Amino acid sequence: MPEFVLSPNILVVPILISLVIVELVISKAMGRSVYNFQDSITSINIGIMSQFVNATGAVISAFMYAVIEMKYGTFEWDMTNPFTWIFALLLYDFLYYWVHRTGHEVNMFWASHITHHSSDEFNLSTALRQASTGFYFKWIFYMPLAVLGIPVQVFVVVGLIDLLYQVWVHTRLVGRLGWIEYVLVTPSNHRVHHGKNDYCIDKNYGGVFCVWDRMFGTYADERAEEPIVYGLKKKLNSWNPVWSNLHYWVSMFKKAGQQDNWGDKLMCFFAPPAWSPDGNSAPKPLAEMPVTDEIFVEKTPLSIKLSGLMMTIVSAVVLVLYLGTKQQLPGMVQVACAAAAVCTFALVGYFWTQGNRKELER
């Protein structure tokens, strides 16, 4: 029987879920409605599923980084020197900016990142709505750190700092923060990033620092006179965590299959998401998008809500147990565990979505 080993990444799971509950309580006390129950449950389950997958996928990133750093690392860095950590964090965040920007501006990378933007809400549970398909390409962007010889331990820690910092900016309860808006990513400028208003599209990619957006012309301030509408222009209308990860891949491959030549087929993967073979590739304005019925979200049956809550509790416990024992498990067993988690979420998510649609037919 594998021995359970408590590590910092395990503690993150209950802490993040607790923060979601705290924000929910505070929002209720303020008389603000910033949560939809099933949407938030789905976000948390998408996050839990991504941890099953990425706990194994992250090994690829760490392994590739360690190999390149060992063979091609140019400089020696003193891990006791604060400059090493500050420099590594700044460079990591600069590279994250390009990871994130590419995730919006190249279609096959948007197919992965779109999962994070598929919620119609914006709250701390949205921060947990992370893709399960991003590990295959993100590691490549961070190889300059490895070539510079930044130790893999520093790479992992600053990556975790960058990721955890981004949790708190997913909230509507914090307003503008004065001069901080000019330096750091804040809830205000990250709300813009999640908006589907025309002025919000492809803006504010920074992870910790917003200076990169200001340097490269992708920064936009939140507009008080134009309330932000969150989510995708084409709504997902599904509570299935697996479909939220795969729906855009399916449509992208279908679009590629409809093209007559290989050039256009490749453009379906490497061009911006709005690309069209007829040359009309500008993003469609929000005002021209068809109005989508909100009843799918509003009429979720109680049985789906209760099963969603139960699934969240059970899967969170299983995830903690998995993370605490996975280092002692053979690689194929880890892959099998991740596959079992994905299949379970796919099956349960299918019944959640179908149950919701049957409710609408009544």
| pLDDT tens over the chain, length 362 residues | 678 888 777 888 899 999 999 999 999 999 999 999 999 999 999 999 999 998 877 778 888 899 999 999 999 999 999 999 999 999 999 999 999 999 999 999 999 999 999 999 999 999 999 999 887 788 899 999 999 999 999 999 999 999 999 999 999 999 999 999 999 999 999 999 999 999 999 999 999 999 999 999 999 999 999 999 999 988 888 899 999 999 999 999 999 999 999 999 999 999 999 898 887 766 666 655 555 545 455 567 888 889 989 999 999 999 999 999 988 888 889 889 999 999 999 999 988 887 666 555 55
Residue 334 placed within a domain: yes
Residue 1 placed within a domain: no
Query: How many domains is the chain built from?
Result: 1
Residue 38 placed within a domain: yes
Residue 3 placed within a domain: no
Q: Which domain holds residue 141?
A: 8-361
Q: How far is CA 240 from CA 34, 82, 206, 226, 300, in A?
A: 21, 44, 29, 31, 13
DSSP conformation letters of 25-45: HHHHHTT-----HHHHHHHHH
Residue 255 placed within a domain: yes
Residue 97 placed within a domain: yes
Give the integer Cα–Cα distance in Å for 272 and 103.
10
Residue 192 placed within a domain: yes
Give the integer Cα–Cα distance in Å for 145 and 152.
9
Residue 264 placed within a domain: yes
Predicted TM-score of the model (pTM): 0.92
SS (H, E, C) 98-116: HHHHHHHHCHHHHHHHHHH
Give the integer Cα–Cα distance in Å for 31 and 33.
7
